Structure 1
Amino acid sequence: MTSRPENPQLKIAAIQQQCTDDKAASLATSEKLIREATKGGAQLVVLQELHATLYFCQTEDTDIFELAEPIPGPTSNRLADLAGELEIVLVGSIFERRMNGVYHNTSVVFDTDGSLAGIYRKMHIPDDPGFYEKFYFTPGDARFNDGRSGFTPINTSIGKLGVLVCWDQWYPEAARLMALAGADILIYPTAIGWDITDDPAEQARQLEAWVTVQRGHAVANNLPVIAPNRVGTEPDPTGQGEGIRFWGNSFICGPQGEFLARGDDQSECILTATLDRSRTESVRRIWPYLRDRRIDAYEDILKRVLD
Structure 2
Amino acid sequence: MVDDAAQITDPVTVGVRKGTRVDLVDDGRGPPWRCKFRHAPSLAFRDGKNYRFGKVAQPCFSYSLPGAHPCGASTFIPRLWHVGGLARCHTGGYHDQQEVAVSDPTPKPMVLTPPPQRHVFRVTAAQHHAPRNDPESALLLGCGIVREAAADGADLVAFPEMWSTGYALPLDQSLAQPLEGPFVEGFQDIAAELGVGVLVTALLTSPAGPTNSAVLIGRRGEIVLRHDKVHLLADAEAELAAGTRFDVASFDGVMVGVMTCWEREFPEAARELMLAGAEVILVPNATAWNPTRSHQMEARAFENMVALASVNYPGDGWGQSSAYTPIVFDPRGRPLSALLAQADARAQYVPFRFDMDALRDWRSREVWGARYRRPEAYRRLRGQE
TM-score normalised by structure 2 residue count: 0.63
Larger relative contact order (C-alpha < 8 A, sep ≥ 6)? 1
How many Å apart are 1:26 and its aligned residue?
2.8
Match status 1:212 vs 2:295: yes
Q: What is the match of residue 352 of structure 2?
A: 273
CA distance in structure 2 between the aligned counterparts of 1:82 and 1:139, rounded to whole angstroms: 29
Whether 2:310 is the aligned partner of 1:227: answer yes
- The residue that corresponds to 2:193 in the other structure is 85
1:282 Cα deviation from its structure 2 partner? 2.2
- Structure with higher Rg: it is 2
Following superposition, the deviation at residue 54 of structure 1 comes to 2.8
- Residue 123 of structure 2 corresponds to residue 12 of structure 1: yes
Pick closer, same or farther for the CA change 1:227–1:30 going to 2, 3 Å.
same
Superimposed CA distance per residue, residues 135-186 of structure 1 (whole angstroms, 9 cap, x where no aligned partner): 2x21113xxxxxxxx1110222342211121111111111011111111201
Residues 51-93 of structure 1, C-alpha deviations (whole Å, 9 max, x = no match): 122323x336xxx112111111111000100111111111111
Question: Structure 1: how far apart are the matches of 2:201 and 2:312?
Answer: 12
Q: Is the 8 A contact 1:186 1:223 kept in 2?
A: yes
Q: Is the 8 A contact 1:48 1:93 kept in 2?
A: yes
1:54 pairs, out of 157, 166, 181, with 166
Task: Say if 1:83 and 1:59 are closer, same or farther in 2 by CA, change over 3 A.
Answer: same
Distance 1:127 1:283, change over 3 A: same
Q: 1:215 to 1:120 in 2, by over 3 A?
A: same
How far apart in 2 are the matches of 1:43 and 1:283?
22
Q: CA deviation at 1:255?
A: 2.2
TM-score (normalizing by structure 1): 0.78
Runs of 5+ unmatched residues, structure 1 = 1-5, 142-149, 194-205, 233-244
Q: Is the Cα contact below 8 Å between 2:215 and 2:227 reproduced in 1? A: yes
AA at the equivalent of 1:248:
G
**What amino acid is the match of 1:209?**
T
Unaligned segments of structure 2, at least 5 residues? 1-116, 328-336
- Distance in 1, matches of 2:136 and 2:199, equals 18
Aligned pair partner of 2:379 in 286, 292, 299:
299
Q: Which residue pairs with 2:223 in the alignment?
A: 116
Counterpart for residue 27 of structure 1:
139
Q: Which moved more, 1:286-295 or 1:90-99?
A: 286-295
Say if 2:231 and 2:262, in contact at 8 Å, map to a contact too.
yes
One-letter code aligned to 1:287: V
* Offset, 1:259: 2.6
SS of alignment partner, residue 121 of structure 2:
strand
Q: Is the helix fraction higher in 1 or 2?
A: 1
Measured at CA, do residues 246 and 230 of structure 1 come closer, stay the same or move farther in structure 2, by a change above 3 Å?
Answer: farther
| Aligned residues: CA RMSD | 2.1
SS at match of 2:381: helix
Checking the alignment, whether the CA contact within 8 Å between 1:80 and 1:110 is kept in structure 2 is: yes
What CA deviation, in whole Å up to 9, does each residue of 1:14-57 have, x standing for no partner?
1111122233333332222221111111111111111122323x
Distance 1:187 1:275 in 2: 12
Aligned to 1:107: 214
CA contact (8 A) 1:91 1:107 kept: yes
Q: Distance in 2 between matches of 1:120 and 1:105?
A: 8
Structure 2 counterpart of 1:277, which letter? M
Contact 1:119 1:154 in 2 (8 A): no
Native 8 Å contact 2:215 2:225 kept in 1 = yes
Distance 1:151 1:286 in 2: 25
**CA-CA distance at 1:210 after TM superposition:** 1.4
Paired residues of 2:320 and 2:343 also in contact (CA < 8 A):
yes
Give distance in 2, aligned partners of 1:15 and 1:110.
Answer: 15
